[in-house]
Copies of this chain bind each other. A is one copy, B any other.
Amino acid sequence: MKKYLIGIDIGGTSIKIGLFNLEGILLEKWAIPSNKTENGNHILTEIAQAIEKKYNLEEVNGIGFGVPGPVQNNKVIHCVNLGWKEVDVTSEFSKHLKKAYSLRIKVANDANLAAAGERFQGIAKGYDNVCMFTLGTGIGSGIIINGSIVEGYNGFAGELGHMVIDSTNQILCNCGKQGCLETVASATGIVSLAQIHLANSLEDSLLRFVKKLSAKKVIDFAKMGDILANRIADESMDYLAYAMALITYVIDPGIFVIGGGVSNAGDFLIQKIEQHYYKYVKPFILHTTFKIATLGNDAGIYGAAYMVKE
């Protein structure tokens, strides 16, 4: 009798494991360290041992895996952070189990799964189409259409952080291009914009008295009424809103979900995004919802469980 789903989020440092019932209620979560020795060759073995020891897999409907790299047709293309090249997770993982269970085993990109998780049990519940941004050191993003994750032909769909949208600041991205969304709308991007603004003006600002700039400080000071800090936060969210408008012309998702560290700014952020977004989609009358993610770091395990639900 199948009673459970297991969602596993494989990160560069730890592997999060969640046990869910079939309705998607998280019953238990725990973690094991990511063993990256020998090109991450032990990761799937150790996960298999850990969960087989703890659960009766006869009762499990499926196990979903999230990985920090591109995935296509249930195969990992590569995961630099884990040392993985091409990995067929379903067959590799099955080999390391003691017996052959009747199990659905699926794998997807972790940022895509965060979007799926928010759609499953988070703020995007009930939406068939979802676009999610995780604004942290970089930008993670995922797209759900008709309830399914969009991977794309090259496993490259939802790489929204690399949309080139800023021709003014021309900040160099880790990818080698200039002006990627990530260079102006991630936490790192907000700091870069702050540095540019501080260098280009003599305007008073609390930011000038800060030892180490951070996105949090820019947003906190902006909320407190610091004019320069507010202009920086505003410019950053203007770029994000412009990208969201472009995405709307492509897939019109109906809801944009914002997660990651920067999203702690809450309504302050949402208001700025909305204001700029409607400027960019004018004159078209569109109903689009902007929400802060609610599952935090658990979005990945929720999404992984969602994948193997049916």
- A contacts, CB < 8 Å to B: 127, 129, 143, 145-146, 148, 150-160, 162-164, 167, 175-177, 242, 245-255, 280, 282-288
Contact B287 A176, beta carbon cutoff 8 Å: no
A157 to B286, CA, bound (A): 11
20 contacts between A and B (CB under 8 A): A127-B153, A129-B150, A129-B153, A143-B250, A145-B146, A146-B146, A152-B252, A152-B254, A153-B254, A154-B252, A154-B288, A156-B286, A157-B250, A167-B167, A176-B283, A177-B282, A177-B283, A250-B250, A250-B251, A251-B251
A159 to B248, CA, bound (A): 8
Contact B247 A282, beta carbon cutoff 8 Å: no
Contact B143 A146, beta carbon cutoff 8 Å: no
A44 to B119, CA, bound (A): 38
| Most chain B CB within a 10 A radius of its CB, from A156, A248, A280, A282 | A156
A175 to B164, CA, bound (A): 24
Minimum CB–CB distance for A39 against chain B, Å: 21
Contact A280 B152, beta carbon cutoff 8 Å: no
| Most chain B CB within a 10 A radius of its CB, from A127, A154, A160, A255 | A154
Minimum CB–CB distance for A274 against chain B, Å: 15
Contact B160 A288, beta carbon cutoff 8 Å: no
What is the chain B residue whose CB lies nearest that of A287? Answer: B154
Contact B176 A282, beta carbon cutoff 8 Å: yes
A252 to B70, CA, bound (A): 12
A287 CB contact (under 8 Å) in B145, B153, B167, B248: B153
Contact A154 B280, beta carbon cutoff 8 Å: no
What residues of chain B lie closer than 8 Å to A145, measured between beta carbons? 145-146, 150
Contact A153 B288, beta carbon cutoff 8 Å: yes
What is the chain B residue whose CB lies nearest that of A128? Answer: B153
Minimum CB–CB distance for A48 against chain B, Å: 30
Contact B286 A154, beta carbon cutoff 8 Å: yes
A252 CB contact (under 8 Å) in B155, B163, B167, B285: B155
What residues of chain B lie closer than 8 Å to A283, measured between beta carbons? 175-177
Minimum CB–CB distance for A69 against chain B, Å: 13
Minimum CB–CB distance for A15 against chain B, Å: 27
Contact B150 A148, beta carbon cutoff 8 Å: no
A138 to B152, CA, bound (A): 27
What is the chain B residue whose CB lies nearest that of A148? Answer: B146
Contact A248 B156, beta carbon cutoff 8 Å: yes
What residues of chain B lie closer than 8 Å to A177, measured between beta carbons? 282-283
What residues of chain B lie closer than 8 Å to A248, measured between beta carbons? 152, 156
Minimum CB–CB distance for A5 against chain B, Å: 22
What residues of chain B lie closer than 8 Å to A176, measured between beta carbons? 282-283
Minimum CB–CB distance for A101 against chain B, Å: 28
Contact A150 B251, beta carbon cutoff 8 Å: yes
What residues of chain B lie closer than 8 Å to A284, measured between beta carbons? 156, 159, 162, 175
Minimum CB–CB distance for A131 against chain B, Å: 8
A164 to B117, CA, bound (A): 31
